[in-house]
Amino acid sequence: MGFFGAIKSCYMKSFTFSGRATRSEYWWFVLFQTLLGIGISAWFLSYLLANPQILEDMKYSGTLPAGFMNNVWIFTAAHFLLFFMPSLSAMVRRLHDTDRSGWWYFIMFVPLIGGIWMLVLLCLPGSNGRNGYGPDPLGPRRRLNDHPALMGELDPEIKAAMRAQQQADFKAYYQSRVLPEIQRNKEARGV
């Protein structure tokens, strides 16, 4: 999933805590939210610097002006809808992709290692195939141990058939690609 597809998917599923989210979907959305947060913070800082009376009022009275507080409440509600809920639902769906419950979210509150543990969980690949939270969002994937080299000891008949198939494939490739190229090189050199 690409950058814009991940953003669209995560905002469309802002209040959906079921299903699964791929690594790419989750991490593209995290990148978007980080960039958006930096942009909003820069705008807010430039707003405060452009209106020094707000900072002076805070300095002398210790409180924010009433009109400014209304903006802060609006900003807080927008932050909740634009950042917190979509990221929480995407994180829960990402945990589901690794075949873990969304309750693992609370591991982040364990001092010292909780955040690191959560980061590792969010970076793990999703479980292959259907799990308890839904079908694989990437579709059917080839499992590592489906590869013949990793299957252990094969039946001698299967090995012989695989070897014969590889030799036939090599011969067909050689005749269709390599020999014509050799012939063209000979003709180009005038041999």
The pLDDT of residue 64? 65
More confident residue, 124 or 72: 124
DSSP code at position 105:
G
The residue ranges of every structural domain in the chain are 3-123, 145-189
For 114-150, write each residue's pLDDT tens digit: 999 999 999 988 888 788 888 888 876 655 555 555 5
CA angle 73, 74, 79 (to 5 degrees): 95
Closest to 10 measured CA to CA, from 80, 79, 119, 83: 83
Average pLDDT for the chain: 83
Q: If you compute the radius of gyration of the chain from its CA atoms, what whole number of angstroms results? A: 29
Closest to 63 measured CA to CA, from 52, 54, 73: 54
Give the span between the Cα atoms of 175 and 154, in whole angstroms: 30
What is the reported pTM? 0.64
Whether residue 100 contacts residue 88, with contact meaning beta carbons closer than 8 Å, is answered with no
Q: Which two tokens stand for residue 44?
A: 């807010």
More confident residue, 176 or 157: 176
CA distances (Å), 101 to each of 3, 5, 28, 93, 94, in order? 26, 25, 22, 9, 10
For 80-104, write each residue's pLDDT tens digit: 778 888 999 999 999 999 989 989 9
CA distances (Å), 72 to each of 29, 51, 62, in order? 25, 15, 16
The pLDDT of residue 92? 94
Give the span between the Cα atoms of 108 and 36, in whole angstroms: 23
Q: Which two tokens stand for residue 37?
A: 């947060």
The pLDDT of residue 153? 63
For 167-177, write each residue's pLDDT tens digit: 899 899 989 98
